[in-house]
Structure 1
Amino acid sequence: MLAFFLCANTLFAYFVTENNYTQQQRVLKSLDIDTSFLNDPILLSMRDDLDLYRTRHFLNILERGYQFVPIVRQMIADAGIPDAFLYLAMTESNFSARAYSSARAVGLWQFMPYTGRKFGLVIDEYVDERRDPIKSTEAAIKFLQYLHDDFGKWYLAAMAYNCGEGRVRRAIIEAGTDELSVLLDPNKKYVPRETRNYIRKILTMAHLSGSADFIIGHDGDYLMNQGSSSTFAPIIVPGGTTLSDIAKSTGLPVKIVKEYNIHLNYFFTPPNVKEYVVYIPYDKKSLFTQNFKPSDGSEAFYVHVVKKGDSLYEIGRRYGISYKVVKDFNNLSSNTLRINQKLIVPVAKPTTKHYVVRQGDTLGSISRKFNIGLNELMRLNNLTSTVIHPGGKIVVP
């Protein structure tokens, strides 16, 4: 993955300026689409609409993508898939890693949880890598290659990416062909309307993004040289590293480091892995290398879910730290808590001790006393039953 960032530094600006018609033909051929599709009336209408009425919105999307587009473009090129798929991401998310749909699709490539995990993305309590522009692009490339292997044509892979493999298979069977012009028939409706326009949107965005006349003609000259070099760099830190430690080493505010790492659910890297890749501004990499000192590993993090009756003071007392530490670490502006609110509690890594069972104790009461789940307590003690006896010893954290 680091190699992609090195390559991105030498990329030219990500707007293609070749002959307009030649560029359009090349894009269609790369997607296995006959060049006669350039005359499709709905495609022409989309281009005119964007050219006349929505140019500022379109240019804003291009500007938003400058941060990671050079790297994503290079990854797509290295994978040998059509470069027009850069605009599949643009169609899916408007080049926003924060994008979220009502169907629970997330990130630059709008992965659903199941598909994201299937193609290697981690989605858990600590991280949602669907929002990681690099890892999600790696997953999207694998997914598109998988779909192409299945359907044999890139435009079918794109359609399946949008509406699902099963829907495209049924459409081909119903239509008796996989010809694009037939599958897009608005009267037969072999595929949903959104999918019928999906390929057209990708082609429209590829066409206009590759047109110097369009960019300059709508006062977008400033975009022509953006995206020509990397704006952020990957760094490897130990699991459980706080973003504040990274920020201190680079002289950046914590909120800026978090902006570069919106795939992290909290202000620290996953504590359940040995190391993890995060991103910082490219021009801060040398500062980080000089100043960053890894933690000694003595600190751990608990995710505490607020229950009825909890207070900051009580939570701090339970974990053996000041309530002010809990408040500051979670950037709380007041002491008011909400039921089911999640708080991160930084504590010294737990050690274990032996608790001597007393008369009246049950395994359940001991688990509540030491704030540990019953199943976890049984696992620590290699117990297959909840039966315990006075005088016995139970290992507890």
Structure 2
Amino acid sequence: MKQIILLLLPFLLSANFAFSTNQTKEVSILGSFDIEESFMYDPVMNQMKNSNVEIYKEEHFFQAMDDAYLFIPTVKNILTKHGIPPELLFIAMAESNFSAKAYSVKKASGLWQFMPQTARLYGLRVDKYVDERMDLIKSTEAASKYLNNLYAQFGKWYLAVIAYNCGSGKLSRAIQSANSDELSVLLDPEKTYIPKESRLYIRRVIALAMIGNDEQFLLKSEYEHLLNRANASSISTVKVPSGESLKRVSKLVGIPIAELKNLNRHLKQDFTPPYLSSYDIYIPYVKLSEFKQKYFEEKKTNNIYKIHIANKGDNLYNISKKYNVSHNVIKDFNALKSNKLTLNQKLIIPLDNKANVEKMSSEFYYMVKKGDTLESISKEHRVSVQDIRVQNKLDGNSIKEGKKLKL
């Protein structure tokens, strides 16, 4: 019996050490959220964590982490730069499962699931050419500013996380009603100060953070390499001219087009926005040196494109006259089998004339004329009144003659 105990002693000691180490780490994670150590024993959170462990043994968790392996270090670095605990990275997992292309029925999109209006308030472009809610870096920068604003308002990170889910107004009313901002009070299932979704949301984010930082859990999986994620950025930002094609960059630099598109989900087309002189795209860091050696800008302007949405009465002939581009070129470029167009059909117009490019750029702005109202401008340019307000930082409906509005 004594011999058996001696044989088992190293295992028992190592198991105890592993438990102690993991417990210390979990306490540290709770501290990152400004949550007291006693929350470790929250039954709902523990049930969620334990059931998730079982679910994630089926690779759901690991696959999401593995798919995001390339950009997670960059996202964490941005959060750290803004003074945000890196554990809040798991908000993105709770929101989108680390998928930049995630889209909800409520029209939230991207890694951090921004709604269009919130996205624009934090400087993200959402238009016919780009949806920067799907931009890994710009959306994380925006999420960092948003989280910092919430933290400044509420003073605790767990409150910022809850507000991220249910909104600052709803959380403010909940705190006022509860006369407390303590987590245990706000999570009261009978008082329901905050919605059930938010009560589960904060627990889910914490549970994911604990699982994602559980070394023993990762060591037992085939995804042990996730422990070796470097802190150094594994993607690089490079500047390319307007209208540059991802396919061209792919061929020049030798980056698989699927990988390049995966890092640049925010581009709605194969090319960068034509209304800017240059635009940032992302490539794997290991390809940066090759990009500097092999990439060159085309001096001609035929890599500039315009998206045209067919209106009532449009046909290929009048569209070709508008942009001074052969209707056959438009037909070939869009692989059209006939000259017939449907209402709201999107056409890509390759522009080969500098004057056309300059004319097109001005279409994104509108000079207010006498008698104009936000509603009349909205109807004419198919842009919502709210979008015009947000883009131009307008408080009300009044606009002055001669004012330049961004559309």
Structure 1 segment 182-221 matched on structure 2, within 5 A: 182-221=185-224
- Aligned partners of 2:176 and 2:60: how far apart in 1? 38
Q: Is the 8 A contact 1:245 1:292 kept in 2?
A: no
Report the alpha carbon displacement of residue 231 of structure 1 after superposing the two structures with TM.
4.0
The runs of 5 or more residues in structure 1 that have no matched partner are 1-16, 353-370, 386-397
CA displacement 1:99-129 (0-9 Å, x = unmatched): 1111111100111112111122122222111
Classify 1:221/1:298 alpha carbon distance in 2 versus 1 (closer, same or farther; 3 Å).
closer
Structure 1 pair 133/38, CA: closer, same or farther in 2 (3 Å)?
Answer: same
Whole-angstrom distance in 1 between the partners of 2:285 and 2:33: 34
Q: What CA distance in whole angstroms lies between the structure 2 residues aligned with 1:329 and 1:346?
A: 8
Q: 1:141 to 1:298 in 2, by over 3 A?
A: same
CA distance in 2, matches of 1:53, 1:91: 15
Normalising by structure 1, report the TM-score. 0.78
The SS at the match of 2:228 is coil
TM-score by length of 2: 0.76
Q: Say if 2:178 is the partner of 1:175.
A: yes
1:41 maps to a residue whose letter is P
Compared CA separation, residues 334 and 247, structure 1 to 2 (3 A): farther
**Alignment-derived partner of residue 16 in structure 2:** none
Aligned amino acid, residue 292 of structure 2: T
Question: Which moved further from structure 2: 34-43 or 115-124?
Answer: 115-124
Picking from 266, 282, 285, the partner of 2:285 is 282
Which amino acid in 1 is paired with 2:102?
A
Shift of residue 54 of structure 1? 3.7
Structure 1 CA distance for aligned equivalents of residues 230 and 318 of structure 2: 50
CA positional deviation for 1:310: 5.4
Residue 275 (structure 1) shift:
1.7
Which one of 345, 351, 362 corresponds to residue 349 of structure 2? 345
SS state of the match for residue 33, structure 1? coil
Q: Say which SS state the counterpart of residue 170 (structure 1) adopts.
A: helix
Where does residue 243 of structure 1 map in the other structure?
A: 246
Q: 1:345 to 1:58 in 2, by over 3 A?
A: same
Alignment check: 8 A CA contact 2:94 2:204 kept: yes
Q: Alpha-carbon deviations, 1:190-230, whole Å to 9, x = none?
A: 11111001111111111111112111224332433356664
8 Å CA contact 1:66, 1:227 repeated in 2? no
2:79 maps to which of 76, 79, 90: 76
Q: 1:302, 1:273 → 2: CA distance?
A: 12
* From 31, 38, 41, the counterpart of 1:39: 41
Tell whether the 8 Å contact from 2:150 to 2:163 is kept in structure 1 after alignment.
yes
2:330 to 326, 329, 335: 326
1:388 corresponds to:
none
CA, structure 1 residues 18+317, in 2 after alignment: closer, same or farther (shift >3 Å)?
farther
Match of 1:110 in 2: 113
- Higher RCO (C-alpha under 8 Å, 6+ residues apart): 1
Residue 57 of structure 1 corresponds to 60
Q: Residues of 1 paired with 2:280 and 2:99: CA distance? A: 20
Cα pair distance change 1:324/1:205, threshold 3 Å:
farther
**Aligned equivalent of 2:89:** 86
Q: Among residues 48, 51, 57, which one is paired with 2:50 in the alignment?
A: 48
- Residues 267-326 of structure 1 deviation map (CA, whole Å, 9 limit, x = unaligned): 221222222110123333233222322233634422211346656677556644455543
**Matched residues in 1 for 2:272 and 2:106: separation?**
27
SS at match of 1:67: coil
Residue 339 (structure 1) shift: 2.7
The change in CA–CA distance for 1:254 and 1:39 in structure 2 (over 3 A counts) is closer
Would you say the 8 A contact 2:99–2:111 is kept in 1? yes
Distance 1:322 1:255 in 2: 31
SS of 1:303's partner is strand
For 2:11, the equivalent position in structure 1 comes to none
Count matched residues. Answer: 345
The percentage of counterpart residues that share the same residue type is: 42
Unpaired runs of 5+ residues, structure 2, are 1-18, 372-407
Residue 343 of structure 1: SS of its match in structure 2?
strand
Classify the secondary structure of the residue corresponding to 1:346: strand
Contact 1:68 1:227 in 2 (8 A): no
The reply to whether residue 301 of structure 1 matches residue 305 of structure 2 is: yes
Cα contact 2:136–2:263 (8 A) shared by 1: no
8 Å contact 2:74–2:235 — kept in the other structure?
no
